[in-house]
Amino acid sequence: MRASIALHVVAVLAREPARLHSSAELGVAVPASRSHLTGTLTRLVRAGVLASVRGPRGGFRLAAPPARFTLRDVFEAAEGRVERPQRGRCGLGLGSACPFDRILRRVNDSLLEHLAATRLDGFAQEVGGAQPTGR
């Protein structure tokens, strides 16, 4: 949930990286409750992905140019460091030869590779061409 919120937030901010966006404005653009959005914004600021400015004209913006961040940076800022899953117990009694374990590890590795290879600037361009559908 937090990763989805974080990815939506940075997609909005990357469209206009120099402009401050209020939390109210982000609340309209991002499909999340106010408390989930606030918590996610806090995590992104603490991780150095976002910068925040307090006050009536304050808001949030990316802490660096969009090309500086990957989607993995954003994902891990929201969810914590992603580790490769440990081998689990196999219900079939196959131990480390468990086919399900191998499949899940491949899927996990593929996701992490994709997130690490996708820069925020490219992601923002891809998302920027999409038409909003509302909530």
**Model pLDDT for residues 99-115, shown as the tens digit of each residue:** 777 788 888 889 999 99
In the chain, the percentage of residues whose pLDDT exceeds 70 is 84
At 77-99, the pLDDT tens digits run 999 987 766 666 666 667 667 77
User: In terms of Cα–Cα distance, which of 42, 66, 48 is closest to 125?
Assistant: 66
**131 confidence band (pLDDT: 50, 70, 90):** very low
| Cα 28–Cα 34–Cα 36 angle in degrees, nearest 5 | 115
- Token pair of 17 as six digits: 């990286």
Dihedral sign, Cα of residue 75, residue 79, residue 82, residue 86: negative
Q: Which domains does the chain have, with CATH numbers?
A: 2-83+119-128 (1.10.10.10)
